[in-house]
Amino acid sequence: MSIFKGAGVAIVTPMKENNEVDYDRFGELLDFQINNQTDAIIVCGTTGEAATLSHEEHLACIKFTVDYVNKRIPVIAGTGSNCTETAIYLSQKAEEYGVDGLLVVTPYYNKATQNGLKKHFTAIANSVKVPIILYNVPSRTGCALKADTIVELAKTVDNIVAVKEASGDISFVADLMQKADGCIDVYSGNDDQIVPLLSLGGVGVISVLSNICPKETHDIVDLYLNGKTKESLALQLKYLPVCHNLFTEVNPIPVKTALKYIGIDCGSLRSPLTDMEEENAVKLKEAMKATGINVK
């Protein structure tokens, strides 16, 4: 059974001027998402700047999200690490807090072998009971899961139930779907490939776009899953320029800029990330306006 079907938001982490987490704004952001039909909250992922949060901050953000959302929609916590023991620790604490699932990225920098990845994910999964979504994003980690590895993990570890597929390689997705034969749920990790991935049997998206367009991203998936494929495709194509401009610089630089444009200031980014270059920021705003997004 899927943890969720639809569009889950890879939510940003709001910051105060002093660079502390802004929990008041975080609550507003969560309400904005839920009120606009987001299907799940994914907290402390790449978009949430998890790599710059201390373990204490990381866990505090997870606990705050679980408590604030209060079972209104599923909460999935990013608990991956390039250290297996650290990932186990974060995963166990997140389970204690009551998350509905975990998003566990491939171990970055170490560049583990496929056997190493199997041992890594199996150890994490065996340490908890909540369902786990594997996260395949080789452009950021330097480490890729092969289709055969994903399928083997899904078939041999009960609580490995899904994968966020962000390689950008639609041929890889097709190969994975053929080999998996329904044994694992697949979520798009790329907003510009939601419909293509759904057409291959995917169940949704873990989305950056949802931060600024939660209802529209939800609708792309919902329309498709309810047989309205033309309408879904039309929305996918309509928001394609915004999707592209959300990645002219490394995520989450553009999406935090975009949130300011719609009147939701989530603060600055933690170093080493910086403010968006002016030229790219202008192009992002123009793309948002052209799509009909209400830019302030």
Residue 44: the pLDDT is 98
Burial class of residue 90 (count of CB atoms within 10 Å of its CB; 0-12, 13-18, 19+): buried
The answer to whether the CB of 49 falls within 8 A of the CB of 208 is: no
Burial of 56 (0-12, 13-18, 19+ CB in 10 A): exposed
* DSSP single-letter state for residue 262: T
Name the pTM for this structure: 0.96
Which residue, among 81, 25, 14, 83, has the nearest Cα to 49 in the 3D structure?
14
Mean pLDDT by 10 residues, the chain (296 residues): 92 96 98 98 97 97 98 98 97 98 96 97 98 96 96 97 97 97 97 98 98 98 98 98 97 98 95 96 97 93
In angstroms, the Cα distances linking 216 to 139, 232, 285, 293 are: 27, 10, 18, 10
Element (H, E) at 134: strand 132-136
pLDDT, position 55? 96
| Tokens linked to 270 | 């933690």
Catalytic residue numbers, as ranges: 135, 164
